[in-house]
């Protein structure tokens, strides 16, 4: 009984303490004030577990498929190097230096378990610089990049440049949608089929899709 | 050291709270039954336009069946197709352009006609249609409000579609 009370008091104190830290502004959100090492390790652990659990059932395609690798090279070069750098350009950028947590370098990305890498690409990571790519790209292009990531460790600058040059499209490997693009019919070099006439042009400012009828009805009240 | 512990529990609370509050808001992919349905549509079809409406129906049904070439038989060779700022200026251009993507998309989509009005005068008929489209996209369902204007001209081979204008938006998106 006494133990219970003590526990309860401790729990209340913890909640009150947390509330105090929040309301007094004592918690420093600045990205240039690092977490305590133990906090950092805790967040890292939470992230690793969160991803591992959610990625466990993902079915991995053949990551040696040359078509996947080809599309991945161009897409990686077009979308990821500003944060993760590349064998051809290892110079730090403002983003790679300025983000906290720091984006892992390209060679480190190559060692990430493929399911976890795919999940991370598709969903992004909250409260970090890693964006959600699954909104604008089809899964197979995400897999293309996962396949390409695995080849990165030890890749020479020449091989990297050759892989990017051989990738379809001018700089992208294909698969991007025209998010915010002015011309919905614009085609990016690759031989992708166009968006059908019945799908709306993606508007990044639009509300998420309410696919249920009653929400639609609510919209129509006068 | 104490603040340290407090901060740790704060972090824990911050991590845990959203993890429990985020419901899985998946729309039911299994509920999407590919095909066309006009059962609940509000129709205003002038008798003189009935044959033209049949042509439009054949066109849409062929696209939904994944058969753009069959659909194209209903198009005038010089058909003008406008869609969200894009243009296709002939039947061949459409066949080489969006036709395949349209057929692929409609093949897996559930299209419910909600409203249609059709009029005809002499050799011209115009048909305005509103549809609700549900389509699977990966694990999600996209709901689209789609509108379509078709203009047909009566030729020696019967009614042919000379103009189409399509536009669509996500269902429930503002006005």
Is B7 within a domain? no
Quick one: what percent of chain A has pLDDT higher than 70?
Answer: 79
> Is the pLDDT assigned to residue A188 strictly greater than 60?
no
CB contacts of B109 in chain A (<8 Å) are: 198
Mark yes or no for CB contact A193/B104 under 8 Å.
yes
Give me the pLDDT at residue A91, please. Answer: 85
Q: What pLDDT was estimated at residue B9? A: 55
Cβ contacts of B138 on chain A, cutoff 8 Å: 139
Res B148: pLDDT: 96
Confidence of residue A116 (pLDDT cuts 50, 70, 90): very high
Q: What percent of chain A has pLDDT over 90?
A: 54
Q: Examine the pLDDT at A23 and tell me if it is beyond 90.
A: yes
Mean pLDDT throughout A83-95? 90
Amino acid A167: pLDDT:
83
Is B36 a member of any domain?
yes
* Number of domains forming the structure of chain B: 1
Cβ <8 Å between B138 and A39: no
pLDDT surpassing 60 at residue A193: no
Residue A198 scores a pLDDT above 70 = yes
Interface of B with A in 20-49 (CB under 8 A): 27
Find the mean pLDDT for residues A162-183.
58
CATH of the domain at B162: 3.10.450.50
Answer whether A170's CB lies under 8 Å from A187's CB: no
**What's the rounded Cα separation, in Å, for the pair B106 and B29?**
15
What confidence score (pLDDT) does residue B13 get? 52
User: What phi and psi values does residue B17 have, to the nearest 5 degrees?
Assistant: -55, -55
Which residues from chain B sit within 8 angstroms of residue A20, using beta carbons?
6
Cβ-based contacts of B11 with chain A (< 8 Å): 39, 42-43
B63 at interface of A, judged by CB pairs closer than 8 A? no
pLDDT given for residue B171 in this prediction: 83
The residue ranking higher by pLDDT, A187 or A38, is A38
Pick B6's closest partner by Cβ from A17, A46, A200.
Answer: A17
- Lowest mean pLDDT across A8-12, A43-47, A196-200, B151-155: A196-200
Query: How far away is chain B from the Cα of A112, in angstroms, using its nearest Cα?
Result: 23
pLDDT at A208 over 60: no
Least confident of A51-60, A100-109, B22-31, B113-122: B22-31
Instruction: Give the B window 83-122 contacts with A, CB below 8 Å.
Output: 83-86, 97-98, 100-102, 104-106, 109
- pLDDT in the model for residue B48: 95
Instruction: From chain B, pick out residues whose CB is under 8 angstroms from the CB of A125.
Output: none
Task: Closest CB to A200: pick one of B27, B132, B168.
Answer: B168
Nearest to B10 among A21, A139, A211 (CB): A21
Give the range among A46-50, A205-209, B30-34 with minimum mean pLDDT.
A205-209
Which pLDDT value is given to residue A215? 41
Which whole-number Å values give the CA distances from B52 to A21, A79, B113, in the listed order?
Answer: 71, 49, 17
Quote the tokens at residue A85.
């750098």
Asked whether residue A205 carries a pLDDT value surpassing 70, the answer given is: no
pLDDT at B149: 97
The whole-chain average pLDDT of chain A stands at: 81
Any idea where the domains of chain A sit in the sequence? Answer: 34-182+193-214
What is the pLDDT, as a whole number, of residue A209?
44
Burial class, B134, CB count within 10 angstroms (exposed 0-12 / middle 13-18 / buried 19+): buried
Give every residue of chain B whose pLDDT is below 70, as ranges.
1-27, 173-175
ipTM confidence:
0.75
Q: DSSP 3-state assignment of A52? A: helix
Owning domain of residue B128:
27-170
In this prediction, residues A67-92 reach a mean pLDDT of: 90
> Do B11 and A39 count as a contact with CB atoms less than 8 A apart?
yes
Q: Is residue B17 part of a domain?
A: no
| C-alpha to C-alpha distances, A15 to A2, A3, A18, A20, A83, nearest whole angstrom | 20, 18, 5, 9, 37
Interchain CB distance below 8 Å, A206 and B170: yes
Do the domain assignments include residue B60?
A: yes
B74 close contact with A: CB closer than 8 A: no
CA distance B124 to chain A (A): 24
């Amino acid at each position: 009984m006494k133990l219970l009370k003590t526990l309860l008091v401790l729990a209340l104190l913890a909640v009150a303490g947390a509330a105090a830290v929040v309301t007094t502004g004592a918690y420093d959100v600045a990205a240039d004030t690092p977490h305590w090492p133990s906090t950092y390790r805790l967040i890292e652990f939470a992230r690793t577990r969160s991803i591992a659990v959610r990625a466990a059932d993902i079915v991995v395609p053949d990551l040696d498929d040359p078509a996947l690798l080809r599309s991945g090279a161009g897409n990686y070069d077009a979308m990821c190097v500003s944060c993760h750098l590349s064998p051809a350009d290892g110079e730090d950028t403002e983003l790679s230096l300025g983000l906290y947590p720091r984006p892992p370098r390209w060679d480190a990305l190559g060692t990430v378990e493929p399911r976890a890498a795919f999940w991370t690409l598709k969903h992004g990571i909250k409260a970090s610089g890693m964006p959600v790519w699954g909104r604008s790209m089809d899964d197979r292009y995400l897999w293309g990049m996962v396949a390409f990531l695995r080849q990165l460790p030890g890749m020479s600058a020449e091989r990297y440049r050759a892989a990017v040059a051989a990738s379809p499209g001018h700089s992208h490997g294909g698969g991007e949608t025209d998010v915010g693009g002015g011309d919905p019919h614009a085609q990016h070099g690759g031989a992708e089929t166009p968006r059908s006439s019945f799908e709306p042009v993606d508007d990044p400012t639009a509300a998420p899709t309410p696919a249920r009828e009653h929400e639609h009805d609510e919209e129509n009240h006068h | 050291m104490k603040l340290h512990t407090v901060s740790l529990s704060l972090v824990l609370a911050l991590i845990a709270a959203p993890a429990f509050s985020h419901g899985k808001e998946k729309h039911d992919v299994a509920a999407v039954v590919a095909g066309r349905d006009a059962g609940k549509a509000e129709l205003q079809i002038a008798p003189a336009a009935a044959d033209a409406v049949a042509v439009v129906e054949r066109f849409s049904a062929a696209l939904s069946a994944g058969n753009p070439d069959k659909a194209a038989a209903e198009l005038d060779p010089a058909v003008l197709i406008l869609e969200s700022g894009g243009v296709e200026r002939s039947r061949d251009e459409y066949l080489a352009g969006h036709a395949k993507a349209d057929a692929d998309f409609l093949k897996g989509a559930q299209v419910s006609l909600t409203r249609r009005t059709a009029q005809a005068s002499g050799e011209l008929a115009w048909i305005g249609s509103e549809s609700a489209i549900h389509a699977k996209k990966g694990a999600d369902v996209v709901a689209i409000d789609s509108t379509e204007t078709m203009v047909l001209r009566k030729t020696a081979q019967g009614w042919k579609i000379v103009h189409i204008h399509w536009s669509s938006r996500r269902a429930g998106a503002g006005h």
